[in-house]
């Protein structure tokens, strides 16, 4: 259960798009359709923004989108807004019906 | 309102035990898989344990396997985490969360989170 690999930080200007990657292996990200993404503001609980690789929960703007290629999942945020500044984490199912693994987290800075 | 409320955290010495609880309201608890996730101070999120709707499937992170036990009482709408042989590395804010999948399976889409209960081992 090694942590998934995310860039430690990314940045973008308001209105731009940014993509955060989440790299794992055939045993997690690349092997199953259960990758989710979370936004965490300082001092707050995480918020689900993408699940099942590409699905958005009700209420999450369509500026947030998920995708996957091979063993790397990606979160793209388009039309960046100041309140998108937060930490973002990926989470993947890792087999055996029950196992999971998070990415190390990515700090998004809106310039 | 869908809500999860954790309790039971505190300051303990290494080697001691602690039992965390998570009370659920506003949704049909027995329909959903549940999770414990922790976050050490200034660090990222770490998955701790999962349990399916009927407790048939249970899993643990390698870092806690053999020391922690996840359980649920569907009649009481409650989730638990029994933590034994606590180590300083277990110091963290512990969150409970529910799965988005309404068929009770462990799919790792955590759509509702509590605010967490802090555990300090020192």
Taking only the tens place, the pLDDT of each residue in B44-74 is 999 999 999 999 999 999 999 999 999 999 9
Position B41 scores a pLDDT of 96
Query: Percent of chain B, pLDDT > 70?
Result: 100
Instruction: Give per-residue pLDDT as tens, A28-87.
Output: 999 999 999 999 999 999 999 999 999 999 999 999 999 999 999 999 999 999 999 999
Phi-psi label, residue B26: left if phi above 0, alpha if psi -120 to 50, beta otherwise: left
Is the Cβ of B96 closer than 8 Å to some Cβ of chain A?
Answer: no
| pLDDT value of residue B122 | 96
SS3 B12: strand
Cα distance between residue A48 and residue A33, in whole Å: 16
Q: A2-43, pLDDT tens digit by residue?
A: 799 999 999 999 999 999 999 999 999 999 999 999 999 999
Residue A20 has a CB neighbour count (10 Å cut-off) of 22
Residues of B with Cβ-Cβ distance to A1 under 8 angstroms = 61-62
Nearest to B109 among A51, A89, A98 (CB): A51
Beta bridge partners of residue B116, listed in sequence order? none
Minimum Cα–Cα distance from A96: chain B residue: B59
Give dist(CA B29, CA A19) in Å, integer.
35
Flag whether residue B5 sits within 8 Å of chain A, measured between CB atoms: no
A105 vs B contacts (CB less than 8 Å): 44-45
Asked if A100 and A4 count as a contact pair (C-beta separation under 8 A), the reply is no
| Size of chain B in residues | 122
Chain B interface disruption, residue of A9, A93, A102, A106, most B CBs within 10 A: A102
pLDDT tens digits along B71-118 = 999 999 999 999 999 999 999 999 999 999 988 888 999 999 999 999
- Mean residue pLDDT across chain B: 97
The two three-digit tokens of residue B19, written as one number: 């039992």
Helix (H) or strand (E) segment spanning residue A101: strand A100-102
First-to-last C-alpha distance (Å) of chain B: 36
What's the gap in Å between the CA of A27 and the closest CA on chain B?
15
Spatial distance between the Cα atoms of A11 and A111, rounded to a whole number of angstroms: 7
């Amino acid at each position: 259960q090694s942590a998934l690999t995310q860039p430690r930080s990314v940045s973008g200007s308001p209105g731009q798009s940014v993509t955060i990657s989440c790299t794992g292996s055939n045993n997690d990200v690349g092997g199953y359709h259960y990758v989710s993404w979370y936004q965490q503001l300082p001092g707050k609980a995480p918020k689900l923004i993408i699940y099942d690789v590409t699905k958005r929960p009700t209420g999450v703007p369509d500026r947030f989108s998920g995708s996957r290629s091979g063993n790397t999942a990606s979160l793209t945020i388009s039309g960046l807004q100041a309140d998108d500044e937060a930490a973002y984490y990926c989470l993947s199912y890792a087999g055996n019906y029950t196992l999971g693994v998070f990415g190390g987290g990515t700090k998004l800075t809106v310039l | 309102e869908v809500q999860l409320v954790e309790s039971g955290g505190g300051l303990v010495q290494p080697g001691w035990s602690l039992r965390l609880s998570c009370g659920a309201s506003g949704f049909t608890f027995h329909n959903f898989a549940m999770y414990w996730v922790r976050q050490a101070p200034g660090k990222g999120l770490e998955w701790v344990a999962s349990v399916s709707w009927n407790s048939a499937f249970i899993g643990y992170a390698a870092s806690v396997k053999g020391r922690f036990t996840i359980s649920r009482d569907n009649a009481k709408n409650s989730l638990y985490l029994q933590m034994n042989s606590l180590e300083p590395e277990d110091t963290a804010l512990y969150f409970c969360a529910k799965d988005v999948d309404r068929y009770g399976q462990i799919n790792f889409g955590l759509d509702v989170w509590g605010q967490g209960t802090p555990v300090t081992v020192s």
